[in-house]
Amino acid sequence: MGHQYHQATDGLLNLFTKANHDLSMVHYRLEKEFQQVYPDSANPMKLVSRIKKVQEDISILKEQCHELLAAKQDLIDKAQRILVENRNLVQRMQPSLGISPTGEDDDAFTNFKQVVEEWTAQIRSKTGDETHDADSGDINKLLFSAIVQKHMEIVVSRYSFFILVNVLKCNLLIGRLN
Mean pLDDT of the region 155-178: 57
98, pLDDT greater than 50: yes
Dist CA 67 CA 55 (whole Å): 19
pLDDT for the residue 18: 92
pLDDT for the residue 132: 46
Mean pLDDT of the region 112-118: 76
Confidence category of residue 135, pLDDT binned at 50, 70, 90 = very low
Q: pLDDT (tens digit, 9 = 90+) per residue, 14-55? A: 888 999 899 999 888 888 887 787 776 677 777 788 888 888
H-run or E-run covering 144: helix 139-177
Dist CA 12 CA 18 (whole Å): 10
Integer angstrom CA distances of residue 57 from 49, 62, 84, 91: 12, 8, 40, 50
CA torsion through residues 139, 141, 143, 149, sign: negative
- Per domain, the residue ranges of the chain are 1-37, 38-177
